[in-house]
Structure 1
Amino acid sequence: MRQTPTRRAGTRHAAPIALALAAAVAGTLLTGAPSAPASAATVDEPASRFTLAVLPDTQFYSRYADSNFEPDYGTNPFKVQTQWLAENADELNLAFTTHLGDVVDQVGVDRQWQVADEAMSVLEDAGSSYSILAGNHDVRDSTSTRYDDEYDLENEPFLRYFGPERDSQQGTFGGADPTGMNRYHVFEAEGQQFLVLALSWRASDATLAWANQVIEEHPTLPVILTSHDIVAPGSDGVSAVTSGYGERLWNGLIADNDQIFLTLNGHFHGSSVLQRTNSAGNTVTQVLIDYQMAYEGGNGYLSIFEFDLTNEVIDVATVSPWVAAKPADRLTSYDVPVLDGPSQRFSFDLAGRFDGFAPDFGPGTGALPSLSERAIDLVSEGFDGVPPAQDVAAGNPDDYVDVEGTLAHWQISGETGVLDEGGRIEDIAGDSDLVRATIAESGSAAAQPEDVTIEDDAYPYSPSAQSVCFDNSDNQAGRFSYLTTAPDAAVNDADLSNGYTIETFVKLDADWDVDVNSWSKALVRSGNRSQIEGMPWSQWDYTASPAALGISNLREFQWTEVGVDATKGDKTNWSGEIMVDTWSHVAIVNDPETAETTMYVNGAPVLRTAQDTIGMSFNEGMPWIIGSDWVDDAATNGWHGCVGETRIVDHPIGPGEWLTARPDLSAFGVTASPADELPAADAVALLAGTGTPRANVTIDGLDVSAVVTDDGTWTLEVPTTLLTEGANQLALTQGFGERRSEAVEVTIRVAMSGEPAPTTSEPEPSDTASPAPTATQVPLPGNGNDGGRDGEAGGLTPTDGGIVWPTLAVALLALAGGGALLALRHRAARAGRSN
């Protein structure tokens, strides 16, 4: 993982919200739910067992091997996966491995195919058989209506790198269809044979006929169908449904072939399980596995299907050998070696499933304990765990790290409800306030006043508990609203040539719709990049703004920017898939030292970074806007959801200074408190100390407080009318709202009623001038300093020259420098007292 330089020391931010694995959604089932993993008794009981390994979409591993994975980790997840399978084949009694397609991300880039070639060669060198198929990223024309018998086969890189002649070197290879894009294998394990059908992207009618013929020629073999597209997560992101193409496969191949008991596919972002009943009345278990849009392009996760022939069950585990292999200092809270979601670790029944076509099917002679549990043990052994999450909820809106170089900080606050046209969001760092553009000036004839509201809703670790929400946004209807800085706002022309950090909190509305809400923007530095000197022509976004954060049609965050050197064109960052109705913290950090812009989502860096870019170009006098895009010199494409507080800093900063970090409260101390007993009435004790700037200093049980100044000091007045006679043990803390420091205790003594406060008599005249007054630092409780009475906080003492302290309070404060020492003020008349 890239480490962004910070200007101050800070702790690693590791958000506990599981958005980095949001794509790994847990599926529910339409019929016949699978069970939880096998019980401990079954796990420990020897049985006839073997495993099938499943490699989901590896496209980003192939694409970013050289630019990201090797430089940052020294390894590539794809190759680590195959090495782990090869090294542990005996331990897992691994019979076969399947690849579900999208081997590469960009079909025309040879280097990506070479990376995939190197990874899969590891299995070949180890004599471990596998099948592989082409996904939509692996063919030159992936149009859904273009089938495999229409491809220009001589120009398909998949056939050049993974053609049937390569498969034929494996002992399991059974044959290929006339296109060569589709193959089948027969592997043997525990005395039984299984047929694997690997169908590439968009099987034609001819291919389906070939597949049916293959099954017909092997009438007693259980069949595992692998293809890139079969089932998908439902619209709720949880349930499982058959895709349109999957329905084609169901009707043309699966339903009427009882031998097909299991289907495996990738393509759709997430994981889910669907069980359907075929024409013979038997269950077909269909599993989606695809983690490419999760953290690190999938973070090396693969699935282990353990076939327990004795107990007639399949136990599934999802593990990442790459997580286990990462250097410890690279781990984040998203790095867990085992996924435990219901569609990631589960079991399903095979009892009697093959009776209709293989009545003699049964267990072999093996006697092995659970192999899925062994896989879990293998990736977990020696893994010390991820760093603990260090997220702490803010105590109040001031509970953030104040960063030097902050150009604007828009913290949402105000009465909930409609934000009127012209309504203002304050810039708490300067004078670049945001104002809601009037409907007339926005250019949206469809917008309504109620479309923008202030809500008590925010990311849980945002200092502000409120957000501004944009409802009813509709790209097709041209309905949008936005907030804008004034034309003369200082932040408009901010120079970000030394890098920057932009933070915001955003949420997509629960009813976000791809047809009307995609390609909308949350935050934009408005303008027209085509007017920036040196900007090259581009087919995409040529007249868009210099920089913008938005959401794609695949629900990915996109950050697009034009760097200081506009001749390099725009650079983009892309996140994984973002869930609706869920808050995200987005930090975009441009670091001139690495010439990279990194996007962090909930603390995790996204895989697809912008490279060879420094700073940001801009059009002079153009405002920053929140809530819509700005293209062709006009607002458009409104954000459908909420935006929380947002901050712009003129240099790169790390997690320890982000808005999700909390100021350190540990450096709190009392440096001065009264040493003498105070009169019982009308006196004020002044306490002083050090603390965290902007923190509030309070005393438990007393209605007094002070704010720590920017230089880290504070003074606090305590009237004796709030105290009791005798010794008062006071507990002081600093903090922000309910988030408080450890208490520091001091003792203040108040004279008993009717007893005069102690005084010190005038010193005897001396021929020698008294030395200048000096002050003694207050010893705190238990610090070993004998300057205080037993059980007291200690205190300042009179000078050696005999000058009485109360009369020199102000002088001593001045000498102490900035009020760090106490002062004692008497409001009562001092008649009869010695001065």
Structure 2
Amino acid sequence: MTRVGRRALLHAAVAVPAAAALTPALAPAVAGATPAVDHEADRFTIAVLPDTQYLLDEGGSDPEPVRAALRAVARDRDANVVFLAHLGDVTEHGTEAEMRLADSVFTGGVPYSVLAGNHDVPSGTDDRRGPTPHSRTFGPERFRRMPTFGGFAPDGYNSYHVLRAGGREWLVLALDWRVSEQGARWAQGVLDEHRSLPAVLTTHDLVAGSPRAELSAHGRFLWDTLIRRNDQVFLTLNGHYWPSGRTTLVNDHGHDVHLHLTNYQDRYYGGAGMVRFYTFDLARGVIDVETFSPWLLSRDPGTPPEAETARLSGDADRFTVEIDFRERFAGFAPPAVPPSRPASAVVTRDTVAYWRFDAAGFPAAGGPVAAGAVARDLTGHGNDLTAQRLHASGPDVLTWSDEHHDGQPGHASLRFEGGRNPDRGAVLRTSDTAPLNGMRFESGYTIETFFKLPDPFVGDHAWMGLLSWEGRAGDAGKSAGWSDDEPTCSLNLSGERFLQFVVYPVPGDADPTSWSHAVPVGRWTHVAVVNDGRRTTMYVDGARIARNAAEESRGISTLGRPFALGGTQFALRYGQGFHGWIGDTRITARALRPAQFLTGTR
């Protein structure tokens, strides 16, 4: 059987329970058509169905749990199921009669693959065995019209599918329970022909043991012959043994391969049609795994055996696999990064300053940035920034980098090596006469920048500044804030890695402050602070944060002093500088919508 513990009652009305027992979300699924699959969504599911042999047995059994599982998979609206993989031992004896029963059960629904287990074919043979009732039932003719179907090996037992999900294509290899060297060569050819596709390898016998599984004898052959050599294979799924288990091995490329055993035929009612959902969440970088029986859940299980089997929650049954998909697949499928965009594409009539650190806006690439180096204001308004090291800092505190956010117009950044004890760092400042110094933005503004914190984020960097206007709030006539010595506008990072945007508006004596959540390390982040002339709203990676200041806030009480990137003054003095990377930075004299930010500008 298989593993997956749907979030609760698998929106899967399956075996026609009483209408009153159905939730509103489930009722339409019973009679409704298969829901549309979103092949571009960041979240999608590959369903797995293991050893169904005790339920498809001509000696006496019940195929209804398998039918229920297949119907549930096809009708689950929330899971976005794009494919189902059966792991072998479809039937108990592999006879013509049992295969006819299996043929009647596997009808319609989502695209799927079926491979042979040792109960489906003569167990002493490999994939060169010749025709059998299994190959005649689950051979090429059955799958030819499926949109995912790629092809069968000449042996009639090894096959592959190519499915689209998460905005890309994925390869599923469905291999016989005993793959010969000839079959392995065919599988290698499939991998070679689809070299840029991440691959899930399914078979019947690969790992055994629980909770930590180990390679079986045949599993060792597959590992040494196929899996460890091909970086594409990141996940393997097999049945055959029980109880379920999992392990992680490192391949020849230094990357993790997740090997999972799922089988529940030893459980109540032959596994009761257990299904496992592998829900890929590309945005979160995880695969959420759940194990459940749609058939039992649809019946409102009441007896102890039913309740114990309906939904499983053990470490081998319900868990999360963390995968940085971008990094894991980069060796064979480098991510497509949007091309850089010229300044003319992001400078609008209301843009008052725009800086970037590629050749368009910065003089040199590579190595330390010399004191006095200038980053040009690409609006032409004269708000150029000049590099300045703080205190007695050496040249290593400011270097050029080709790292950048994927959505950043300019493909470069500056690496700041600020720190405290002793204070060190660097800033880039406008000249004493730059127009930006005294602009007050009373009709609204948008300040946005890209940044990345190092991973690991080591040391005390609390309250380091990303950007600010120099000057004292007290000199602007403001005394109600935290300190007269803080600047009138700054974007900083707290010790908890919360972004803090604090501004002293033009009218009144207040310091409305917005706070983000803890921002990530080792990953580029875009932040935008938007003021509509009345209130300020911060966005992180395009999402509105919760802790935006409620006070009315109009304009910025600038004092005619320079604007700075990479630091924040206190009492007219810079302490430590920023620690991390800063990329494109833009200031616009009006409130922008998220679609107009630098990440999505026309």
Scaled to the shorter chain, the TM-score interval is 0.3 to 0.5
TM-score w.r.t. the length of structure 1 is: 0.35
TM-score w.r.t. the length of structure 2 is: 0.48
Greater Rg by CA: 1
